[in-house]
Amino acid sequence: MRPLRWILATLLLLAPFSAGADIFLRVPVVTQIQGAVFYRTSMTIGNATGSQPVHLLLRLTYRSPVDATIQSATLDAGLLAAYRTLYYEDMIQKFKDEGLIRSADANSPLFGTLQVTFDANGLSINECLAEARTYSPAPGGGTNGIAYVGRDTGIAGSEIIKAAVRNGTFGPDGTTRTNVGFVNEGTTGTDVDITYRDGATGQVLKSFTLQNLAPGEVVQLNRIFTDPAIPADTRTMIVRAQATANGGRISGYAVQLDSVTNDGSFFLFAEEEDQCVYTPG
């Protein structure tokens, strides 16, 4: 039987939104950065109300690569008419072109989250669309990319999240590497305790803490199977993360990338359903 808390949360999720409530969707990653290849993020934003325009505000949150401070910039995207879409080929570049990135960071690679605010009366969450694609040039032309959607900031994440991740070879076809990321979905800063367990034995391989993850901040850990604490023959791991702050709420994702083509696969960490409680915006 489902916990009573889960049932109450579900009823709240199914209840209609109150008139005038804004919808907030957070995209876990927007970037413009040189890694193994050059990565950037496109955004497609849609108004599916069919009856009214919506006012859009886009807020970028990132930790400065220059001085490690948390920075936030807001782009007023104006009104988007019913059944219309707005597209940005490079979301970070748009913020730079508009002069919204502080001068100290303007020429730096950036990695952050994007909160999309839909402001109109009587909106429903299923009428508000925010879709991202982080992509890079492909060796033979074209691009490789991963895609994901913005999630309701009122219910995304939980105190504890978990994922099963893999690394290594795919027969004669190639090898992969694995990155994981964590987003603070709450309203206060929190540390995040992380544990890696061997997927073959269940043995703890490493436990550590990410300190002071700010609200709306994303931190990505790259090539986690090359960590010195992980034996070289490890092929799978269970990753567990827990927000330590009272009422802390985090989400997580993993990206498995081909080591030759840099083509990636994206998936979210599992979250605890009975801890998801909707808070109207």
For residues 260-275, give the mean pLDDT: 85
- Band (pLDDT 50/70/90 cuts) for residue 121 is confident
160-271: which CATH number, 2.60.290.11, 3.40.50.12280, 2.60.40.1250, 2.60.120.10?
A: 2.60.290.11
Which is more confidently placed, 60 or 121?
A: 60
Segments of the chain assigned to CATH 2.60.290.11: 160-271
pLDDT at 86: 98
Round the average pLDDT of the chain to a whole number and report it: 90
Percent of the chain clearing pLDDT 70 (strictly above): 90
- DSSP conformational letter for 273: G
pLDDT at 280: 39
Q: What is the pLDDT of residues 192-245, one digit of tens each?
A: 999 999 999 999 999 999 999 999 999 999 999 999 999 999 999 999 999 999
- For residue 184, pLDDT over 90 is answered with yes
Average pLDDT score over residue span 123-148: 94
Share of the chain above pLDDT 90, in %: 78
Mode of pairing for the β-strands spanning 175-184 and 168-169? antiparallel
| pLDDT band, residue 279 (cuts 50/70/90) | very low
Res 2 pLDDT > 50:
no
Distances in whole angstroms, Cα of residue 248 to Cα of each of 25, 136, 230, 241, 251: 18, 34, 28, 12, 10
pLDDT of 14 strictly over 80: no
3-class secondary structure for 159-194?
A: CEEEEEEECEECHHHCEEEEEEEEEECCCCCEEEEE
pLDDT at 75 exceeding the cut of 50: yes
- Of the pLDDT bands very low, low, confident and very high (cuts 50, 70, 90), residue 274 is low
The average pLDDT across 140-146 equals 92
Confidence band of 13 (pLDDT split at 50, 70, 90): very low
pLDDT at site 263: 85
b/e per residue 116-134 (b: at least 16 CB within 10 A): bbbbbeebebebbbbbbbb
In tens, the pLDDT along 145-179 reads 999 999 999 999 999 999 999 998 777 777 889 99
pLDDT of residue 81: 96
Q: Is the pLDDT of residue 185 over 60?
A: yes
Query: Which tens digit of pLDDT belongs to each residue from 35-49?
Result: 888 999 999 999 999
Question: Which class is domain 20-152?
Answer: mainly beta
pLDDT range class, residue 17, cuts 50, 70, 90: very low
- For the segment 95-109, the average pLDDT, to the nearest whole number, is 96
Q: Which residue has the higher pLDDT, 50 or 20?
A: 50
Mean pLDDT of 112-136: 95
| Type of residue found at 102 | R
